[in-house]
Amino acid sequence: SQKIEQNSEALNIQEGKTATLTCNYTNYSPAYLQWYRQDPGRGPVFLLLIRENEKEKRKERLKVTFDTTLKQSLFHITASQPADSATYLCALISGNNRLAFGKGNQVVVIP
């Protein structure tokens, strides 16, 4: 069966350090992968997209990697700030251009 796995445990990290989140998938062959941010009581907000032929993508303090051999994406927040505290969701393109989402991984940045 198809699965998208993100760590269910919250990541607590000291301000200024790099937070790294993992998204592993099974039985998908996605042409691209997306990352979203969700704050409590709000809808998800799109952050980044990385295509299957891209190894790495950056946007400001965010960096995403995509390894189609390992079936894994890593999401990095460098120089993390308390305002980065949120839940981060990965999403893969599924059939008929639908997105399938992981359950999300919470990040808590400690001042």
Partner 1 sequence: NAGVTQTPKFQVLKTGQSMTLQCAQDMNHNSMYWYRQDPGMGLRLIYYSASEGTTDKGEVPNGYNVSRLNKREFSLRLESAAPSQTSVYFCASGDVAGGYNEQFFGPGTRLTVL
Residues forming the site for partner 1 (CB under 8 A): 8, 31-32, 34, 41-46, 49, 89, 93, 96-104
Between 80 and 102, whose beta carbon lies closer to partner 1?
102
Could you write out the three-class secondary structure of 62-99?
EEEEEECCCCEEEEEECCCCHHHCEEEEEEEECHHHCE
Between 49 and 74, whose beta carbon lies closer to partner 1?
49
Nearest-approach distance from CB 79 to partner 1, in angstroms: 25
Could you write out the three-class secondary structure of 3-18?
EEEECCCCEEEECCCC
Nearest-approach distance from CB 62 to partner 1, in angstroms: 15
Between 41 and 111, whose beta carbon lies closer to partner 1?
41
Nearest-approach distance from CB 65 to partner 1, in angstroms: 18
